[in-house]
Amino acid sequence: MASLYSFICYHHLLLFLLAAAIAAALTTRAVADDMTHLHFYMHDILGGSNPTAVEIVKGPIALPSVPGINFGNLIVIDDALTEGPELSSRPIGRAQGFYMSTAFQEASVLLSVNFVLAADGPYNGSVVSVQGRDPIAAPVRELSVVGGTGQFRMARGYVLWKTHGVNDTNDEAILELDVYLTAQVP
Ligand SMILES: *[C@@H]1O[C@H](CO)[C@@H](O)[C@H](O)[C@H]1NC(C)=O
Ligand SMILES: *[C@@H]1O[C@H](CO)[C@@H](O)[C@H](O)[C@H]1NC(C)=O
């Protein structure tokens, strides 16, 4: 029986070690849970009477595989960010920056943008700076959060970037963005 008891004790020790390992893992997970998650929609409107995206350079080389897109196209944007997918839904802020067609074989842009969050919203005019590669036909693209200001000072993170839909009336792409970041609390 003694040996059985020590066997059980051994198992208790194993269970204790296992519990300690799980606690440590949960603690590590808790750090990840400190990430801020922002979810909003971006309206990239190239046409209609109120465009917010304007092509300022027409790239010199047409891409045979991607009709209508030239290598080197440069578009400057001041796009609306909204809570829901409709342009009329609650404003969150603006996406100010540019994107440039930077691939020969596919429709892919280099995107550099500041998410300027509403001064009267929970993030008080803070900025999230994002840069990355956006192969626009992919279902989900991942871009980098490279910095921020205000509540997002020293931000690091990533954005999962999806095309929610298009509106042909005003040549609008509606993008669904999930931003995950950690920042140094000021
Ligand atoms: C929000 O912005 C105002 C004006 O810049 C500033 O006075 C206030 O301290 C800010 N609050 C937070 C929580 O950052
Ligand atoms: C498409 O855009 C036009 C012009 O802004 C708007 O009137 C219309 O409601 C939009 N359509 C959809 C389905 O959102």
| Atom 11 of ligand 2, residue of closest alpha carbon | 167
* Ligand 2 pocket check for 105: Cβ under 6 Å: no
Strand partners, 181: 36, 157
| Atom 13 of ligand 2, residue of closest alpha carbon | 167
Q: What is the pLDDT of residues 45-83, one digit of tens each?
A: 999 999 999 999 999 999 988 888 999 999 999 999 999
The rounded distance, in Å, linking the Cα atoms of 97 and 152 is: 18
The per-residue pLDDT for 185 is 67
Pocket test for ligand 2, best of 46, 168, 169 (most atoms within 8 A of CB): 169
pLDDT at residue 26 tops 90: no
Q: What is the pLDDT of residues 160-181, one digit of tens each?
A: 999 999 999 999 999 999 999 9
Q: Output the six-digit token pair for 118.
A: 């509403």
The rounded distance, in Å, linking the Cα atoms of 155 and 123 is: 13
| Atom 7 of ligand 2, residue of closest alpha carbon | 169
Query: Whose atoms come closest to the Cα of 171: which ligand?
Result: 2
Q: For the beta carbon of residue 186, count every other beta carbon within 10 angstroms.
A: 10
Q: Is the dihedral of CA 105, 47, 162, 179 positive or negative?
A: positive
Q: What is the DSSP letter of 25?
A: H
Centre of ligand 2 from the C-alpha of residue 168, in Å: 8
**Comparison of pLDDT for 1 and 19, the residue scoring more:** 19
32 pLDDT band, cuts 50/70/90, is low
Mind giving me the DSSP string for 107-162? -EEEEEEEEEE-TTSTTTT-EEEEEEEEETTSSSEEEEEEEEEGGGTT-EEEEEEE
CATH class, domain 37-182, is: mainly beta
In this prediction, what percent of the chain has a pLDDT beyond 70? 81
128, 103, 102: which is closest to 42 by C-alpha? 128
Opening angle at CA 124, ends 122 and 130, nearest 5: 95
89, 52, 32: which is closest to 173 by C-alpha? 52
Centre of ligand 1 from the C-alpha of residue 185, in Å: 13
Q: Are 74 and 55 in contact (CB under 8 A)?
A: yes
Overall pTM > 0.85: no
* Ligand 2 pocket check for 50: Cβ under 6 Å: no
